[in-house]
A and B are shown apart, each in its own frame.
Chain A
Amino acid sequence: MQPHAILLAVLAAAPMLLAPPAADAADDFKIALVAPLSGRWARQGQLKKMGAEMAIAEINAQGGIKALGGARIVLREADAGDSVEKAVSAAQRALSREKISAGIGAWLSSFTLGVTEVAERLEVPWFTLSYADSITERGFKYTFQTSPVSSVQAEQALDLVVDLAKRNQQPLRKAAIVGDNTAATVFFFKPLREKLLKAKGIEIVVDEIWTPPLADATAIVQKIRSTQPDIVFYGATNFPDSIQVLQKVKEFGLKVPIQGVGAWLVTPEYVKTVGRELLDNIMTVTAAHPLKGQEELVKRFTERTGEPFMTQDPLMTYAHVWIIKEAAEMAKSADPKAIRDAVAKLDLKSGPAASTLAPGRIKYDERGRRVGAAPIIVQWQNGEPFTVVPVEYATKKPIWHGAK
């Protein structure tokens, strides 16, 4: 009988566990964060959460949302897991359980494509740092994409490396494209493969795409070794895959410049696992990275979290919470539709949200893309990632190391 009694007790307790915590006052302003908190992208979700929590702590300490009588912001996090299905059902649960004023997520473009479908249907404004062009090509009214889209990133990253190589008298003739098939990477590689590289007279000698997880990287790196490209465009969004490739690059003694796509390539774990020698000079395009003049913000973050430096995921999520706060002040309402309309009209040129993201302006166009969003190129130098492009925000100068 005993197991039955336990089962009954669990069943009886279940509604209490499922119901939202009773401690929140009715007028709390709720933001949903849907991000991978388990599975192979969990680290990125964790970093996003850190950024959101920092912004919320700051806003609440300053008296919450003033237009709503000092309403406190509370975060409702939902685990997007490691598949689109899980991300979608997490969003569905988070948005239908209680009144959510705005949402943020879901890091991986493939997840965001699914999650924004839910937000659009339930009419909740959704903010994302994901890169894929398609996220804002569907005519959605409730999706706001703060990052520059992948195709823009590809074009600018290519311009940068071509220019750097030329200035160092090592013009690019052969390129390798190596990465997984998640949406942001796909949209970054597509224009490179179809037109951009050809237009610059660069030949693609390796073009290898995989579905994560990667069983073994030897074959990829072997191909790079035997074709000797002048540059590798690199998109391994999850850490274990990426580490395997980089370890092989080191093992095979390859000295080829690596141009990554995305902020996954600048997390602190890389230093601990592959060492700074291997990382140095690797560049990556991201949507946000600490800029010149943001030392104070970074310091607050590192002291708060114990992380060695700040990267795109916490920065962008921090900015997103502030954008939502500004929109709520403008809308004077916690109603998601009113917030959405306020965001569409928003044009911030100062304050924490605007100053966090280059070029210092928060305005979304009719598609939901941020006006003027420009990619940032980050480079590892001495075991730390620095902004090297655009020059006006750079904290270091870019270094080129061609195949010698």
Chain B
Amino acid sequence: MSVSDLAQYVVTGLLVGGVYALMSIGLALIFGVMRVVNFAQGDFMMLGMYLTYFLAVVSGVDPLLGALLTIPPFFLVGVSVHRALLVRVTGGGDPQRLMDAQLILTLGLSLIITNGTTMLLTPMPRGIKTAYATQAFAVGPVLLNEARSYAFLMALVLAGVVYVFLTRTDLGKALRAAADDPEAAGYQGIDVRAMHGLAFGVGIALVAAAGGLLATYHPIEPTVAVNFIVLMFVAVVLGGLGSIPGAFAGGLLIGLVQSLTLLVLPFQLQNVGVFITFLLVLYLRPQGLFGQRLRAV
């Protein structure tokens, strides 16, 4: 194992992790604000991949731009799904029953989206053929895949925008207030239900954009979500439930661990490294890397 090999593994891990990170912050936002575990998150990502694909094939839109264009429609989709469905199982009532109802709702939504897409678009895998999917920037002996590098940079920018939105704008602060203490936020005149809708919309838009970026190099099929949803959940829990920077770091860490695991373990055990890290973090720091202990109480 040479130094350049090691560098290649680290770089690859970080680039893969960048897109995991973007996928995960949407999930973290939804959980952080609404306390909803959204099992359909991966399916919205899949839909984002398809929209990017059709934009590329039908209108010739470059998938990197296409990924950004998925944001407005999926924001609306998220808000609508919240208004039509999720609002019935969030905010008030017996928490245990609400939790059960949310799990069933989002799991059902996931099944409907996956199978509906299979029916409508057939299970045939599709892919966007881009030059940058199979080209790389060479930094010395280390190769940085172009598609992944662009996806990584855009993931960073989008995550930055979300962070600034949450910390610097009034709306973002209201959102965080609704997350921290819905009751007190209500007394301050913040419409908690609207904040939930906003969080769900933004969360769905982000994961759709992540799907668009993923589509620049990953084949698209109705069941693509299953490959990623578990990793998203691990990233979110690893980073600290509901913490946005935590989810981002969690995503990066997963990519890195996945890649570096291969230095010591056979390929078949690629995800074992991820789950060992996950267990270690939960054992040593149960609130997650960026989580606050209080929040767990």
Contacts and interface: CB of A to CB of B under 8 A. Distances in A.
A207 B273 CA distance: 20
**Residue of A40, A215, A243, A248 ringed by the most chain B CB atoms within 10 A:** A215
A43 B125 contact: yes
Contacts of A250: 134
B267 A272 contact: no
A46 interface: yes
Interface stretch (A190-198, A216-224, A322-330): A216-224
Interface residues of B, number: 38
Given A38-B118, A215-B270, A222 B8 contact: yes
Given A218-B8, A219-B259, A219-B262, A251 B223 contact: no
B209 to A, nearest CB: 20
Interface stretch (B152-160, B197-205, B214-222, B232-240): B214-222
Interface string B237-272: 000000000000000000000110010001110110
Contacts of B58: none
Contact of B223 (A38, A45, A272, A278): A38
Contacts of B135: 251
A244 B134 CA distance: 10
Contacts of B258: 215-216
A226 B4 CA distance: 11
Nearest to A244: B218
A186 B66 CA distance: 40
B37 interface: no
B5 interface: yes
Given A208-B267, A222-B9, A250-B134, A39 B223 contact: yes
Interface in B122-167: 122-127, 129, 133-136, 143, 145
A247 interface: yes
Interface string A212-249: 01011011101000100000000000011001100110
Nearest to B128: A273
B213 interface: no
Given A239-B219, A269-B127, A274-B134, A226 B5 contact: yes
Task: Give me the 9 closest cross-chain CB pairs, A-B, nearest first.
Answer: A42-B123, A273-B127, A250-B134, A218-B12, A219-B262, A240-B219, A239-B125, A213-B227, A208-B267
Interface of B: 5, 8-9, 12, 16, 115, 118, 122-127, 129, 133-136, 143, 145, 217-219, 221-224, 226-227, 231, 258-259, 262, 266-268, 270-271
19 contacts: A37-B123, A38-B123, A39-B123, A43-B123, A209-B266, A210-B267, A215-B258, A216-B12, A218-B9, A219-B9, A219-B259, A222-B8, A240-B218, A240-B227, A243-B127, A243-B219, A251-B136, A272-B127, A275-B129
Given A46-B123, A240-B219, 20 more contacts: A40-B223, A42-B123, A45-B123, A46-B124, A208-B267, A210-B267, A210-B270, A213-B227, A215-B16, A215-B270, A218-B259, A219-B12, A219-B262, A222-B8, A239-B125, A251-B133, A252-B143, A272-B126, A273-B127, A273-B129
